């Protein structure tokens, strides 16, 4: 009982922090989500996979609703669900091997629950093939049986898998930064904007061995570009700060645009800090390659149905402060935080698993999430 | 375009007008050669019934002629060499044998022969002949479509194949598979545009091959196939709702008013020559959606007012391109030029294993499509055209359409009915497997066909 009460308190606390924006940024949000889900799985009692999935989904839904603009929360929940499903599928397939060995009739084993939850049209064939592969393995497992290696099956260790996932999440930056040398060459001029930890580390990793210059757009109205420029200067990178309106003018001298992002949607479009679209479009005009650095946890299986649906409007204070009373009265002032960048404007995504073109993203999504969990 | 009935000689030509049997045989052979050639070139469409029974009918006519003359020599082999279709061969053989036997046994045959055989009586002979092949899959397919016009073609095809299995009398597995393949082949060749139909038959055949690998008992296999086929069909119908559910999210809500009810208007292209656009406007209006028909030529005019373009599809090919009613390609080009999203909405049973590189790679493309008329016609056509444009310039009135139809007749049948839209013009595909990018299609296809 204390366990479940603890859990509830933990969940509520994270929901509250998300809602109050005490925890922000894709990375910290996804770590917090992963930790919470780990304790959900380890502390509650569950006997079958379906209840576990339902449980995780319930918690996940609360978190997603608390802060819909943090897409990474949903991504982590979906990934955990995928881990659970995979583990249970492995177990079920193994069970079906055993059943298959006893019952030679193909059609009974077909009704086994491996694909029970699937609903798509083509599953009938999918079931069929699983039954066939089961048949294939029967012979080999019976060979093993002969050798007396019977009944040594590992129970699925979901917790272990999730720990691995958290580990991977923590090492994510390093894996991305390691690829920097492949993409940044000596004497290149790189343009970027905002202040992304991924991009910052990426540039610094390259700067250890190569000499290049970076042009940073200041990214008004928050001027995050100033922070980035400062930090790059401190490690001795040749840095230039320009105003956002000069992006197009400077673009002709730039060799490569490297961007960070808030989230990547299923079609390859970016939800990134406002100004990114401007930079990507200018790069397209000059045929400058646009590279996006991102951890895989930022990849979301959702589609953008409406260009504004994932956007946030911030306080316009930074754009036009309240002191300038005359104007504030007369004009409507908007300060959108994000931009949507369509996939045609991006040339390469560098993730912790390597570089991928936009057309390959659907594959990454299939590998990381189950299609059934797209809507949590 | 030639129709089978033009080439296929009616039976009385043989029995009445020819006097010597050599002449008759020669004529019959000539006709056969024509027919076989025309079929193999895909020039002939058979509208009245399956081409198999048509050919069989003409074969009966020949044997009748032969018997009439009392010649005992067997010509079967010669005819078989002319026509390369295995089903027909067996028909020829059995037909000739049967008539030959009946002539020996009874005298009534002579009576029957003397009066010209009507097509009905011939087809009744053919029907008795061999059941397994005579189950007319084409008619069955058409029956399904007629009974329910909303049923998608691939599903009707699968259903007719299930019926085919029900009637199949095959005793071995390979025989069974062969007859199934032949059945689906004849189904494909029965329509001019077999693209979406073949998606259904291919899917089902693929399914059959997969299942039949593990089965030793043919009857059990058949039963299983029939059952699972039914499940497949039921699922396929449910799939439409799922696609609609996914697709609805892409429609922007103009008003953002009541819960989940979106407000939008639809422009529907007329879609000549089928004019199916008119039908969809009717159904849209019936369900309370404001819809306007526009001319196919007005797409460019209207695109500025449009938020997104939605199309259906007859088939999706391996690279994620679409095959759909003619005009889709140019609609996609216009949408791309105007930077409007172009969505395709379809069910996953329409995935095809086809990789067209251009428009002329499609199976529906035949050499005489969009062919030029011969020289004489062309000259008259051009001069006619000049005359019309002169007139138009002079008095700026509507072109007299009567003149035009006189000069250019039957251009519709000379025109393609479907075109191919390359994947780079498609924003997203909305299927029951989820929302896919065009490049995701090949993945799903591989999943379907390899595992």
Residue-wise pLDDT tens digits, B274-323? 788 888 888 888 877 888 888 989 999 999 988 888 888 888 998 999 99
| B80 close to B38: Cβ distance less than 8 angstroms | no
CB burial of B228-238 (b: ≥16 within 10 Å; e: otherwise) equals bbeebbebbee
State residue A258 phi and psi, 5-degree precision.
Answer: -115, 125
User: Nearest CA to CA, how far is A290 from chain B (Å)?
Assistant: 20
Helix A26-43 and helix A49-66, axial crossing angle in degrees, nearest 10: 150
Nearest chain B Cα distance for residue A220, angstroms = 28
Q: Is A153 on the interface with B (CB under 8 A)?
A: no
Please list the alpha-helical segments (H only) found in B287-322: 299-302
Reported as a single tens digit per residue, the pLDDT across A290-325 is: 999 999 999 999 887 777 777 888 888 888 887 877
pLDDT band for position A190 (cuts 50, 70, 90):
very high
- Say yes or no for a CB contact (<8 Å) between A266 and B207: no
Q: Which residues of B touch A107 (CB under 8 A)?
A: 224
Calpha distance B63→B85 (Å, rounded): 18
Helix/strand/coil percentages in chain A, nearest 5: 55, 10, 35
* pLDDT per position as a tens digit, A112-171: 333 333 334 444 444 444 433 333 333 333 333 333 333 333 445 788 888 989 999 999
Q: Which residues of chain A lie closer than 8 angstroms to B349, CB-CB? A: 121
For the beta carbon of residue A120, count every other beta carbon within 10 angstroms. 19
B442 touches chain A (CB under 8 A): no
For residues B57-74, average pLDDT:
48
- Return d(Cα B167, Cα B182) in angstroms, integer: 14
CB contact under 8 A, B249 and A371: no
Q: What is the distance between the alpha carbons of residues B376 and B384, in angstroms, rounded to a whole number?
A: 12
Residue A272 scores a pLDDT above 90 = yes
- B434 vs A135, A361, A374: nearest CB: A374
In sequence order, which residues have a C-beta less than 8 Å from that of residue B287 and are 6 or more positions away? none
How far is it, in rounded angstroms, from Cα A288 to Cα A285? 8
- CA dist A186 → A140, A204, A207, A214 (Å): 55, 13, 9, 12
Report the residue of chain B nearest A106, measured CA to CA: B214
**pLDDT, tens only, A26-39:** 899 999 999 999 88
CA distance A351 to A353: 5
Contact list, A120 vs chain B (CB under 8 Å): 239, 348, 432-433
**Which residue is listed with tokens 């039957």?**
B410
CB contact under 8 A, B211 and A306: no
- A-B CB pairs within 8 A amount to 72
Residue B7 has pLDDT above 60, yes or no: no
Let me know: does A153 contact A177? Beta carbons within 8 Å.
no
What counts of helices (H) and strands (E) characterise chain A?
15, 10
CA distance B87 to chain A (A): 30
Share of chain B above pLDDT 90, in %: 6
**Is 0.90 surpassed by the pTM of this model?**
no
> What is the band of B409 on the pLDDT scale with cuts at 50, 70, 90?
low
* Contact flag B428-A119 (C-beta cutoff 8 Å): no
A306 and B252: CB-CB below 8 Å? yes
Task: Scan for tokens 């800090």, then name that residue.
Answer: A273
Closest CA to A298 of A199, A222, A185: A199
Q: B249 and A305: CB-CB below 8 Å?
A: yes
Tell whether A303 is within 8 A of chain B (Cβ).
yes
DSSP letter for B359, please. Answer: G
Other Cβ atoms within 10 Å of A312 Cβ, number: 14
Cβ–Cβ contact B439 with A under 8 A: yes
The overall average pLDDT reported for chain B is 67
Q: Which residues of A touch B316 (CB under 8 A)?
A: none
Q: Say yes or no for a CB contact (<8 Å) between B231 and A124.
A: yes
Q: Is B372 on the interface with A (CB under 8 A)?
A: no
Which residues are registered as beta bridge partners of A240?
A215
Q: What topology is assigned to A171-373 in CATH?
A: Rossmann fold (3.40.50)
- Give the tokens for residue B51: 């081409």
Residue A363: its chain B contacts at CB < 8 A?
440, 443
| Of B361, B372, B309, nearest in space to B335 by CA | B309
Residue B214 has its nearest CB partner, among A106, A361, A362, at A106
- A366 reaches B (C-beta below 8 A): yes
The pLDDT, as a whole number, for residue B31 is 64
**Beta sheet of B322-325, edge-to-edge order:** B315-316, B322-325, B418-421
Helix (H) or strand (E) holding B401: helix B401-407
Cis ω for the linkage preceding B81 (within 30 of 0): no
* Contact state of B451 with A119 under an 8 Å Cβ cutoff: no
Phi, psi of A322, deg, nearest 5: -65, -15
Summarize pLDDT for B242-255 with one digit per residue, the tens: 777 766 666 654 43
Question: Which of B214, B228, B444 lies closest to A135 in CB terms?
Answer: B214
ipTM field: 0.70
Distance CA B187, CA B201 (A): 9
Nearby residues of A103 by Cβ (< 8 Å), 6 or more positions away: A109
Q: Which range scores top for mean pLDDT: A280-289, B1-10, B276-285, B340-349? A: A280-289
- Domain ranges, ordered by start, for chain A: 1-170, 171-373
Q: Report the pLDDT value the prediction gives residue B37, as an integer from 0 to 100.
A: 60
With the C-alpha atoms ordered A244, A249, A255, A256, is the resulting torsion angle positive or negative?
A: positive
Interface with chain A: mutation pick from B228, B254, B435, B441, highest number of A CBs within 10 Å:
B435
* pLDDT tens by residue, B42-62: 444 443 334 544 555 455 455
- The alpha-carbon gap from A359 to the nearest alpha carbon of chain B, in Å, equals 6
Q: Which of residues 409-428 of B touch A (CB under 8 A)?
A: 427-428
A305/B252 CB distance under 8 A: yes
Residue A120, chain B, CB below 8 Å: the answer is yes
CATH fold of A1-170, please? 1.20.120
Smallest CA–CA distance from B251 into chain A, residue = A305
Interface check for B217 against chain A (CB to CB < 8 A): the answer is no
Instruction: Give the residue from A103, A125, A301 with the most B CB atoms within 10 Å of its CB, the best one to mutate.
Output: A125
* Contact residues, B window 249-278, toward A, CB-based 8 Å cutoff: 249-250, 252
Q: Which helix (H) or strand (E) holds A172?
A: helix A172-177
Residue A238 to residue A252: CA distance in whole angstroms: 18
Question: Nearest CA to CA, how far is A129 from chain B (Å)?
Answer: 6
Q: SS3 of B175, please? A: helix
What residues in B contact A303, CB-CB < 8 Å? 249-250, 428, 435
Higher pLDDT, B400 or B229: B229
Q: How far apart are alpha carbons B396 and B383 in whole angstroms?
A: 19
| DSSP notation for B15-64 | III--SHHHHHHHHHHHHHHHHHHHHHT-EE--SS-HHHHHHHHHHHHHH
Instruction: Identify the closest residue of chain A to B242 by CA–CA distance.
Output: A120
What is the nearest CA distance from B232 to chain A, expressed in angstroms?
A: 7
Which among B231, B433, B436 has CB closest to A120? B433
Of the candidates A285, A265, A273, the one whose C-alpha atom is nearest the C-alpha of residue A228 is: A273
What residue has token string 């790059």? A232
- Are A305 and B250 within 8 A, CB to CB? yes
CB-CB contact of B367 with B341 (8 Å): no
Which of A69-83, A208-222, B222-236, B244-258 shows the lowest mean pLDDT across its residues? B244-258
Tokens at A295, concatenated: 């951890």
Between helix A158-170 and helix A71-102 the angle, nearest 10°, is: 140
């Amino acid at each position: 009982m204390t366990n479940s009460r603890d859990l509830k308190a933990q969940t509520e606390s994270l929901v509250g922090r998300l809602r109050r924006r005490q925890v922000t940024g894709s990375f910290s949000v996804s770590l917090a989500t992963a930790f919470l889900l780990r304790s959900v799985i380890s502390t509650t009692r569950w006997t079958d996979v379906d209840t576990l999935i339902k449980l995780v989904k319930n918690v996940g839904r609360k978190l997603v609703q608390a802060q819909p603009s943090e897409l990474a929360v949903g991504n982590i929940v979906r990934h955990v669900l995928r881990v659970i499903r995979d583990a249970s599928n492995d177990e079920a397939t193994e069970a079906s091997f055993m059943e298959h060995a006893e019952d030679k009739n193909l059609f009974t084993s077909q009704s086994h629950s491996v694909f029970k939850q699937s609903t798509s049209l083509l599953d009938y064939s999918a079931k069929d093939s699983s039954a066939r592969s089961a048949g294939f393995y029967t012979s080999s497992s019976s060979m093993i049986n002969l050798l007396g290696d019977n009944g040594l099956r590992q129970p699925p260790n979901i917790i272990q898998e999730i720990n691995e996932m958290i580990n991977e999440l923590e090492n994510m930056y390093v894996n991305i930064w390691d690829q920097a040398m492949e993409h940044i060459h000596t004497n290149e001029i790189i343009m970027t904007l905002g202040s992304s930890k991924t991009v910052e580390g990426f540039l610094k990793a390259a700067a250890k061995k190569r000499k290049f210059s970076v042009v940073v757009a200041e990214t008004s109205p928050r001027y995050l570009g100033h922070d980035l420029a400062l930090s790059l200067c401190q490690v001795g990178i040749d840095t230039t700060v320009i105003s956002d309106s000069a992006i197009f003018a400077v673009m002709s001298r730039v060799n490569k645009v490297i961007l960070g992002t808030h989230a990547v949607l299923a079609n390859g479009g970016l939800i990134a800090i406002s100004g990114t679209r401007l930079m990507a479009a200018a790069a397209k005009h000059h045929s400058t390659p646009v590279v996006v650095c991102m951890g895989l946890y930022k990849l979301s299986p959702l589609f953008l149905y409406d260009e504004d649906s994932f956007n946030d409007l911030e306080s316009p204070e930074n754009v036009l402060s309240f002191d300038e009373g005359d104007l504030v009265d007369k004009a409507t002032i908007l300060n959108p935080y994000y931009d949507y960048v369509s996939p045609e404007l991006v040339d390469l995504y560098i993730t912790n698993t390597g570089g991928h073109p936009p057309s390959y993203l659907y594959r990454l999504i299939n590998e990381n999430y189950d299609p059934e969990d797209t809507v949590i | 375009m030639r129709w089978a009935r033009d080439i296929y000689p009616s039976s009385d030509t043989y029995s009445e007008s020819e006097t010597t049997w050599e002449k008759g045989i020669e004529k019959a052979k000539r006709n056969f050669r024509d027919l076989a050639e025309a079929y193999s070139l895909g020039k002939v469409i058979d509208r009245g019934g399956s081409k198999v029974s048509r050919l069989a009918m003409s074969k009966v006519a020949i044997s009748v002629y032969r018997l009439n003359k009392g010649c005992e020599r067997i010509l079967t082999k010669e005819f078989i060499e002319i026509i390369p279709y295995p089903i027909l061969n067996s028909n020829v053989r059995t037909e000739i044998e049967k008539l030959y036997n009946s002539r020996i046994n009874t005298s009534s045959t002579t009576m029957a022969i003397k009066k010209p055989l009507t097509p009905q009586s011939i087809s009744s002979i053919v029907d008795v002949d061999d059941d397994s092949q005579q189950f007319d899959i084409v008619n069955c397919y058409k029956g399904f479509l007629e009974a329910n016009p909303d049923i998608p073609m691939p599903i009707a095809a699968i259903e007719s194949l299930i019926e085919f299995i029900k009637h199949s009398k095959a005793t071995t597995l390979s025989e069974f598979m062969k007859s199934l393949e032949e059945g689906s082949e004849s189904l494909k060749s029965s329509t001019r545009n077999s693209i979406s139909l073949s998606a259904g038959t291919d899917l089902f055949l693929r399914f059959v091959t997969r299942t039949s690998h593990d089965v030793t008992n043919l009857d059990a296999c058949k039963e299983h196939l029939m059952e699972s086929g039914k499940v497949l069909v039921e699922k396929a119908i449910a799939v439409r709702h799922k696609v609609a559910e996914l697709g609805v999210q892409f429609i922007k809500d103009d008003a953002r008013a009541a819960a989940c009810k979106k407000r939008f208007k639809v422009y529907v292209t007329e879609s000549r020559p089928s004019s199916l656009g008119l039908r969809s406007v009717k159904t849209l209006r019936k369900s309370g959606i404001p819809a306007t028909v526009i001319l196919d030529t007005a797409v460019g005019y209207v695109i500025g007012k449009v938020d997104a373009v939605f199309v259906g599809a007859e088939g999706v090919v391996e690279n994620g391109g679409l095959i759909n009613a003619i005009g889709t390609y140019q609609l996609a080009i216009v949408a791309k030029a105007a930077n409007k999203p172009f969505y395709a909405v379809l069910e996953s049973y329409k995935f095809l294993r086809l990789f067209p590189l251009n428009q002329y790679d499609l199976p529906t493309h035949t050499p005489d499509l969009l062919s030029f008329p011969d020289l004489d016609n062309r000259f008259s056509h051009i001069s006619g055209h000049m005359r019309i444009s002169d007139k138009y310039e002079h008095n700026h009135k509507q072109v007299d359409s009567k003149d035009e139809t006189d000069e250019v007749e039957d251009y519709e049948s000379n025109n393609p009915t479907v075109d191919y839209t390359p994947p780079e013009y498609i924003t997203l595909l909305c299927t029951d497997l989820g929302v896919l990018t065009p490049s995701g299609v090949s993945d799903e296809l591989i999943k379907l066909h390899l595992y």
